[in-house]
Structure 1
Amino acid sequence: MINGTIEALIAVTLVGSFVVMASSDRVAPKLATVWSLLPLAGSLYMWANFDGEKNALLSDGVLAFESQVNWLSLGPLPDIQWYVGVDGISMPLVVLTGVLTTLALVSSWTPIDERQSQFYGLVLFLEAGLLGVFTALDFFVWFVFWEAVLLPMYFLIGVWGGPRRKYAAIKMFVYTNVASLVMFIGFAALVFGLGVDSFGLPAVTEASLGANPAADTSFGFSVGALKAAAFFAMFAGFAVKVPVVPVHTWLPDAHVEAPTPVSVLLAGVLLKMGTYALLRFNFTMLPEVANANAPIIAAFAVISIIYGAMLALAQSDLKRIVAYSSVSSMGYVILGLVAYTLYGVGGATFQMISHGLISGLMFMAVGVIYNTTHTRMVTDMSGMADKMPYTVAIFIAGAFGYMGLPLMSGFAAEFYVFLGSMQAKWGANFGDIHVLFTAVGMFGIVVVAGYLLFAMQRTLFGEFRLDTDYEVGEAPLHDVAPLAVLLVMIIALGTAPDIFFEMIRDASGPVADLISGGGA
């Protein structure tokens, strides 16, 4: 059974990558941008014609744009299938990937002035890998895309980054590669321990949910022990990609050294790989383990929220401030997932989309200011609103979105997460401790508002001052236009969240129902 839509989407993006790499530096920026409109149009076509139902990994799910054919036979091992499709959780992430890639390419026109064909080709290669991660439903196909994303990101940081780019790129590579190995071992143990005859994620989910925890596995210990070991191995692996405190230290270095368009994709889409994988593997395949350890997981989430926000408060580099904000924001995703309620899981997924748009806008705005001033330090400038009024206005609006201003997507996402977290059903043994975790998480918004308002007050208002000799004026239209597009999308999702949340809710309900009372 082959639908062909997803295959065409990935293939067109991959072909575009090689075409752009083979082109001259003079035409590469415009060629890559125009070519990126093809996968963007494809993702919007899929969204407009989406007809999936329920959740892709659960037995009653109906996939959209599904393709499933045998690919490789491995003898006594389970066969590998080419298996792709989307549901209400993955579909918005596919659209997010298409939108942010095109806007990131436009924002690259000013800062990227060398090896342009290679840079733009690698960005399209990165997009193809991301599309594969969010659509693959066979583990080995998914893992190929998962690892393929790492290669272009390594080179995009290591070649076009800042003074410490090699250190940042190698650190990211080592962290994420070791994490992938730990995650791979955990998943493989689950498959072979349960005796599943397929690497298809729905088949593994069905076998895991139906297995008796007291039964013995082929490894000589109980299914319950196997599930617990697999859960924590996969959680550790995915936590690095999210990233969760304390395995977050690679992210600020990567953001600071990466070119601005790469930071946009790193924060806007790549971090969502980790939270998306946690939702699919840990919280869908192994719900009983997640629920049994809910306070521990929620503690990691809340620590990430508060610690990330506090670190942002201590920074003087605008890029580092936004980078640590991402650590804090991803904590809300985990807090929603572990609640196992409709609005918890759905809000976590909506937060992925909202954060992708808002963080993309914030990094782009910082990049536009840097292109003009050649500094990102809060102490080096003030009064930028008088010189760059349009850029600064959009920057302020994006910051308010980060703070959860009503009628913006950040408010809707955080409201859903907190609503779902307050309804969490963790069992009588844990009492009402979920209320405490939610309250502490909500306090994180206060800290976010503190450091963003402080940074904006220092850099954007007051008498104009710049500790460099560069002439400051409004940025070119092609730099400001992507910011305006993202702001419109943030407001649109804030005022009409059902643009995505209706399909998200449909796919999140079955996950919440895996724990008794989760659908409340």
Structure 2
Amino acid sequence: MWIEALIATTLVSAFVVFVAPNRVAGKLAFALSLLPTAGSIWMYSRFGSTGAEGNALLGGSLAFETNANWLALGPYSLNWHVGLDGISMPLLVLTTVLTPLAILAAWTPIDERQSQFYGLMLFMETSLLGVFAALDFFVWFVFWEMVLVPMYLLIGVWGGPRRKYAAIKFFVYTNVASLVMFIGFIALVFGLGDSVTSMDMPAIAQALNDGGMTGFAGVGANTLKVLAFFAMFLGFAVKVPVVPFHTWLPDAHVEAPTPVSIMLAGVLLKMGTYALLRFNFTMLPGVARDYALLIALFAVVSVIYGAMLALAQTDLKRIVAYSSVSSMGYVILGLVAYTMYGVGGATFQMVAHGLISGLMFMAVGVIYNTTHTRMVSDMSGLADRMPITVAVFVAGAFGYMGLPLMAGFAAEFFIFVGAFESTVLAGTVLGTNGLAIITAIAMFGIVIVAGYLLMAMQQTLFGPFEVETDYEVGRAAFHDVAPLVVLVLLVILLGVDPNIFYTMIQDAVRDIPTVAQAAATGGGH
């Protein structure tokens, strides 16, 4: 019942903060947010001794599992089924670590309706915990949709001048995508006929891998798999986001308050890649392999195009926002490689990017709190006035560039190794080394990342001090700097010792390439 306790504690904390006076809401929210952090760290420490092994959807044993009957929906039973494997455990920890740091970063910029703001932040954390722990599709989908509500309100109420436009655009894009994904998955379940009697995700994955698909509404089994795959891919690609479904993200980031951007880039985008791994690449590996070239092209376009768009920006927040589009392209590349290092590296990249992107948005937020501008052309020489903040910003930027001994380097190294040894494109026009060719092109994205980040730092952080603002620029407050330092240390810690998470990740993804190879050998989807 540890997962239930974690979710319940966070939900109750959200309601407590909602009714608390504004003057104490921030401190109370931070204190209460440490409870799920402590709980998830304890669960992580116990993970190896729980007997958890393998992948939740491929017959693996789970940690902290609960499976109880809930209700019947026609011929299907809905169960409260939650549990953790080596894929979901790191993302659960990431969520509970980033939330208190984001709340702490909100103390300076959030000065109105504080109770509601911090309550919504904790409610969002509750939903995210459910997304990463749920193993029944209906339960998972409820948590998936719940995330939209606090995010919409946090952007729409506390955002910038164009907050309503950004909030509505975010909600429409992601809600329509969720509807398409839902239709695709339900069609898949209906196509399994009597093979499944529940919405249990492991049972559905097992039925699909056992060849239980019979077709539905006159659509053949293989065709239905392909249609369902791309319906789900579209739904999750919007959340990632993958080019060309990315246009909502820069608007959302620019208008959102800093703490909301931290959670959006650090955790919410990982919902999309996590779902792609769980649903598309685990349940339908045959389809993923058949269309690997198309998926790999989506990945490399996201990497290069996202980096080029970042190169053209003059707003620091937009630069970091487009960097996320580029980084998520590497995750897709690792997933489609269908090797242990590729899929494992993609999962590790979710955690590494969560920390680094959160760090970068937090650093930009601290700079904005002091200078009241994010435009690169409006400031220079900040290193003399804000030495700690600038040092952290530089460290985060080098983390984005893949500096060795930082989490980003380890993640990208695993992905590149996995992609270069992949033969998933062997049957395409590119031949056996096809993915290696695409990966080599994607690696050029790192050069572009280095270019725009170095230029941005040179213009804003170094040189003679000059800021086009009437505000006095000085050292940031301790509660602004402290979470920055914590995140830098975590990025370095995970870079020095990736096995903090990578060992459990490898154990959870080891069967995915085997299942994919079996699907390909079987000669069908």
Equivalent residue number for residue 469 of structure 1: 470
| 1:79 correspondence with 2:77 | yes
Which aligned pairs between 1:237-252 and structure 2 lie closer than 5 A?
A: 237-252=235-250
* Stretch of structure 1 that moved more, 315-324 or 46-55: 46-55
2:10 to 13, 35, 38: 13
Take 1:319 and 1:245, find their aligned partners in 2: how far apart are those partners?
Answer: 19
Conserved 8 A contact 2:392-2:488? yes
| 1:387 correspondence with 2:385 | yes
| 1:140 correspondence with 2:141 | no
Take 2:104 and 2:516, find their aligned partners in 1: how far apart are those partners?
Answer: 44
Local SS of the residue matching 1:499: helix
Conserved 8 A contact 1:425-1:517? no
Take 1:296 and 1:73, find their aligned partners in 2: how far apart are those partners?
Answer: 39
| 1:447 correspondence with 2:445 | no
| 1:29 correspondence with 2:26 | yes
Which aligned pairs between 1:3-152 and structure 2 lie closer than 5 A?
A: 4-50=1-47, 51=50, 52-59=52-59, 61-74=60-73, 76-152=74-150
Give the AA of the match of 2:333: L
**Cα deviation digits, residues 418-457 of structure 1 (max 9, x gap):** 1001111215322121111110111100000000000000
Which aligned pairs between 1:180-329 and structure 2 lie closer than 5 A?
A: 180-195=178-193, 196-211=196-211, 216-329=214-327
| 1:487 correspondence with 2:488 | yes
**Cα deviation digits, residues 147-172 of structure 1 (max 9, x gap):** 00000000000000000000000000
Equivalent residue number for residue 164 of structure 2: 166
Give the AA of the match of 1:163: P
Change in 2 beyond 3 A, CA 1:427/1:108: closer
Take 1:368 and 1:428, find their aligned partners in 2: how far apart are those partners?
Answer: 48
Conserved 8 A contact 1:241-1:271? yes
Equivalent residue number for residue 398 of structure 2: 400
Shift of 1:515: 2.5
Conserved 8 A contact 1:212-1:223? no
Equivalent residue number for residue 153 of structure 1: 151
Give the AA of the match of 2:223: A
**Cα deviation digits, residues 277-329 of structure 1 (max 9, x gap):** 00000000000000010010000000000000000000000000000000000
Take 1:132 and 1:217, find their aligned partners in 2: how far apart are those partners?
Answer: 31
Local SS of the residue matching 2:408: helix
Local SS of the residue matching 1:82: strand
Shift of 1:235: 0.1
Give the AA of the match of 2:516: I
Equivalent residue number for residue 177 of structure 1: 175
**Cα deviation digits, residues 324-381 of structure 1 (max 9, x gap):** 0000000000000000000000000000000000000000000000000000000000
Unpaired segments ≥5 residues, structure 1: none
1:371 to 369, 372, 391: 369
Which aligned pairs between 1:314-353 and structure 2 lie closer than 5 A?
A: 314-353=312-351
Conserved 8 A contact 2:359-2:396? yes
Conserved 8 A contact 2:153-2:167? yes
What TM-score comes out, normalization by structure 2 length? Answer: 0.96
Shift of 1:511: 1.1
Conserved 8 A contact 1:412-1:494? yes
Take 2:270 and 2:505, find their aligned partners in 1: how far apart are those partners?
Answer: 15
Take 1:108 and 1:212, find their aligned partners in 2: how far apart are those partners?
Answer: 50
Local SS of the residue matching 2:70: strand
Take 1:364 and 1:211, find their aligned partners in 2: how far apart are those partners?
Answer: 48
Take 1:425 and 1:307, find their aligned partners in 2: how far apart are those partners?
Answer: 25
Give the AA of the match of 1:500: F
Take 1:512 and 1:48, find their aligned partners in 2: how far apart are those partners?
Answer: 28
Take 2:121 and 2:288, find their aligned partners in 1: how far apart are those partners?
Answer: 35
**Cα deviation digits, residues 388-442 of structure 1 (max 9, x gap):** 0010001000100000000000000000001001111215322121111110111
Local SS of the residue matching 1:57: coil
Take 1:159 and 1:212, find their aligned partners in 2: how far apart are those partners?
Answer: 48
Give the AA of the match of 2:218: G
Shift of 1:467: 0.7
**Cα deviation digits, residues 154-209 of structure 1 (max 9, x gap):** 00000000000000000000000000000000000000111221100001101111
Give the AA of the match of 2:45: A
**Cα deviation digits, residues 68-121 of structure 1 (max 9, x gap):** 0010112x3201000000000000000000000010000000000000000000
Take 1:218 and 1:338, find their aligned partners in 2: how far apart are those partners?
Answer: 27
Local SS of the residue matching 1:514: helix
Take 1:514 and 1:98, find their aligned partners in 2: how far apart are those partners?
Answer: 32
Conserved 8 A contact 1:354-1:490? yes
Take 2:491 and 2:17, find their aligned partners in 1: how far apart are those partners?
Answer: 31
Local SS of the residue matching 1:68: strand
Shift of 1:263: 0.1
Shift of 1:27: 0.7
Take 1:427 and 1:110, find their aligned partners in 2: how far apart are those partners?
Answer: 50
Local SS of the residue matching 2:241: coil
Take 1:36 and 1:12, find their aligned partners in 2: how far apart are those partners?
Answer: 9
Take 1:247 and 1:173, find their aligned partners in 2: how far apart are those partners?
Answer: 13
Take 1:456 and 1:512, find their aligned partners in 2: how far apart are those partners?
Answer: 41
Take 1:164 and 1:29, find their aligned partners in 2: how far apart are those partners?
Answer: 25
**Cα deviation digits, residues 227-254 of structure 1 (max 9, x gap):** 1111000000000000000010000000
Aligned length: 511
Shift of 1:218: 3.6
Conserved 8 A contact 2:181-2:231? yes
Take 1:402 and 1:514, find their aligned partners in 2: how far apart are those partners?
Answer: 33
Take 1:221 and 1:470, find their aligned partners in 2: how far apart are those partners?
Answer: 65
Shift of 1:220: 2.3
Conserved 8 A contact 2:425-2:434? no
Equivalent residue number for residue 500 of structure 1: 501
Conserved 8 A contact 2:296-2:332? yes
Take 2:104 and 2:506, find their aligned partners in 1: how far apart are those partners?
Answer: 33
Take 1:209 and 1:29, find their aligned partners in 2: how far apart are those partners?
Answer: 48
**Cα deviation digits, residues 27-67 of structure 1 (max 9, x gap):** 100000000001111110110000310000002x0000000
Conserved 8 A contact 2:40-2:93? yes
Give the AA of the match of 1:205: A
Equivalent residue number for residue 522 of structure 2: none
